[in-house]
Amino acid sequence: MNTTATAPAAAAADPLRLTLVVGSNRHGRFGPVVADWLLGRIRDRDDLVAEVVDVAETALPMSLEPTPEATAALSRITPKLARADAFVVLTPEYNHSFPAGLKNLVDWHFTEWQAKPVGLVSYGGLSGGLRAVEHLRQVFAELHAVTVRDTVSFHNAGASFDDRGALRDPSGPDAAAKTMLDQLVWWGHALREARASRPYGG
């Protein structure tokens, strides 16, 4: 039996490890509602296994000083980023951009993002958070990550969900999530195989 021919195919069939980064820590935030919906879409698939990093549950100083408190916080966050094959970053839009807490979490890491794909999901008012998404694309390009083309955005997000956190009309968002996650899976497998055969040296 030619095991060298079957090993790459078996590896490609393994589910991708996906880390969902919930990017808001504002009091009264709406992010968990969107995150719960998104996790439902991810868990419906057999090609992704998800875990969560929530900015609101981190205690990383803005100074980037490696204090004992920062080291303790990183011990809970960094492994989830390091072992991920792909990311989805969920962001609101604050003043035409994404939150400072999210930027701080991103800036505490570097190699963990490299040569991995990032899907972007946003929510907000009329813009649906899309201006925050465009800023994040620039940040992740600098970190040698690959953002997938299609996004999921919720315009006037509060009106899109009912009091139980269910979408009033799931057809559009569900279709957008499938498109984005399909692209993420393609890139996730391609880049995982590339990193395995030739470590990224960027």
- pLDDT at residue number 201: 85
Helices within 84-170 (DSSP H only): 100-107, 130-142, 157-160
Instruction: State the Cα–Cα distance between residues 56 and 22, nearest whole angstrom.
Output: 8
Q: What is the pLDDT of residue 32?
A: 97
Counting other chains too, the contacts that 169-173 makes at CB distance below 8 Å and 24 or more residues apart are: 173/37
Q: Along the 202 residues of the chain, how does pLDDT read in single tens digits?
A: 444 444 455 456 799 999 999 999 999 999 999 999 999 999 999 999 999 999 999 999 999 999 999 999 999 999 999 999 999 999 999 999 999 999 999 999 999 999 999 999 999 998 999 999 999 999 999 999 999 999 999 999 999 999 999 999 999 999 999 999 999 999 999 999 999 999 998 7
Residues 6+ positions from 155 with CB-CB distance below 8 Å: 124, 125, 126, 127, 128
pLDDT at 10: 44
Query: Residue 3's pLDDT is what?
Result: 44
The single-letter DSSP state of residue 161 is: B
Per-residue model confidence (pLDDT) at position 6: 47
